Amino acid sequence: MQISKGWCGIARVFLPFAAGYYLSYLFRTINALIAGQLSSDTGLGAADLGLLTSVYFLVFAAAQIPIGVLLDRFGPRRVQSVLLLLAAVGAGMFAVSTGFLSLLIARALIGLGVAAALTAGLKSIVLSFPRDRVALLNGYMVMLGSLGAVTATAPAEHLLAWMDWRQLFEILAVATGATAILIYVAVPERSIVPSTSRATLSSVFSDRRFWRTAPLSATCVGSAWSLQGLWASPWLADVEGFDRASLVRQLFLMSIVLSGGAWLFGTTVHSIKRRGIETETVLAIVAVLFIAAELALILRAPLPSFLPWSVIAIVGTATVVSFAVIADYFPPELAGRANGALNVLHFGWAFLAQYATGLILEQWSANDGHRPVQAYQVAFGINIALQITALVWFALPWHRSVASWTSSIPFFMPASISSAIESVGHYEDSVVLLPSDDDAEW
């Protein structure tokens, strides 16, 4: 039963979880801004920087399944507030760490602490608001949360003008702890009604529709997170030749587009579902546009770099579409586990893409601190090939249905041709060869 009504529900249920997701997005993307300072202060190379940043995604992915089970059993209020306290501890550790290992552990703890940020918010929406408003509210949740990516650009750059990255993380630690307390105090407790169905996590992983959709969503969304969260900054500096001010401005504009994309996806999914259009169609269109944008980058298409990077940024919020697709596959009592299962692949792929990109880039020597465009073309190109493979897999059921329909057409052609010949007249000197029953190709 939905208990949250009007502005009371928005203020007490929606906004506190949106604040948690905002911090999650900020932690996810802040390393793109401080990458240079981190490297100079700690002596990190490209591979080390990629691992340090991407371990957030690895821990995040590993935690999704147990967190989904906990959300379904104990509810989003208790799970989210406890985990955010861990994130606050991780941010505090990151602020005082000096070596690579301590930074890695702190970053991993941050990833674990914000691992429920999105799924807890989505679970609270499913439990507290009418079903026909879920996709729209999911869009608003991601839109507000992605403002964390906006904060991680120009606003954070202004803060770094009069403090270092360590002090910035001290502030983030305090803000995260305060948000944990807010969620625990403000969000009303929901009684968790045990499900009477036999639906379990295996119901998610044994569903063919899940495995048709998840690879495409993961390779696109995870790659978008990987690029915007770290590798957009080196690309803009090494390939586009941006100075620091231009780079920060580009990242800021990308994050603005990212936030708007979440709203766009939410309203689009809400609209097409009311018209009876399948949400999978939107996901396929998003994937095609994403692949096209990446190809425009690596092929050096004569376009302003802001255009393809904006598309990449928007795809980072396509989780709104993916979760709307998943919501149609499974009942509400499985929402936490289904969303968690999909997020495992999202964040797992983001980890692989972000770390592997760093490993590939290190195969080329840096010239005056900059790597050649060929290094990025190879790293991004491998990712694109995998996305195309996932898109083909996603489209196979549609292709088979079309092939099945077209294959039935030839069986009607002989009779039609025969009738046409008979209507014209009998030609004794003509030989008409009709296909035999064994001729499957005709």
HSE at residue 436, side-chain half, CA atoms within 13 A, is: 2
Domain ranges of the chain: 13-188+201-395
Asked if the model's pLDDT at residue 233 lies above 80, the reply is yes
Question: Confidence class of residue 309 from pLDDT cuts 50, 70 and 90?
Answer: very high
For 13-188+201-395, CATH gives 1.20.1250.20
Residues 6+ apart with CB under 8 A from 301: 295, 308
Dump pLDDT digits (tens) for 339-388.
888 988 998 999 899 999 999 999 998 887 788 999 999 999 999 999 99
Q: Could you tell me the end-to-end alpha-carbon distance of the chain, in angstroms, rounded to an integer?
A: 58
- pLDDT number for residue 333: 73
Whole-structure pTM value: 0.73
Q: Which two tokens stand for residue 407?
A: 């294959």
Looking at residue 400, its pLDDT comes to: 56
Residue for token pair 């425009």: 296
- CA pair distance 279, 142, nearest whole angstrom: 17
Give per-residue burial for 56-74: e unless 16+ CB within 10 Å, then b: bbbbbbbbbbebbbbbbee
Task: Give yes or no for residue 302 having a pLDDT over 90.
Answer: yes
Q: Which two tokens stand for residue 151?
A: 């904060």
**How high is the pLDDT of residue 416?**
42
User: What residue type is 297 in one-letter code?
Assistant: L
C-alpha–C-alpha distance, residues 180 and 186, integer Å: 10
Q: What is the mean pLDDT of the chain?
A: 83
Q: How confident is the model at residue 193 (pLDDT cuts 50, 70, 90)?
A: low
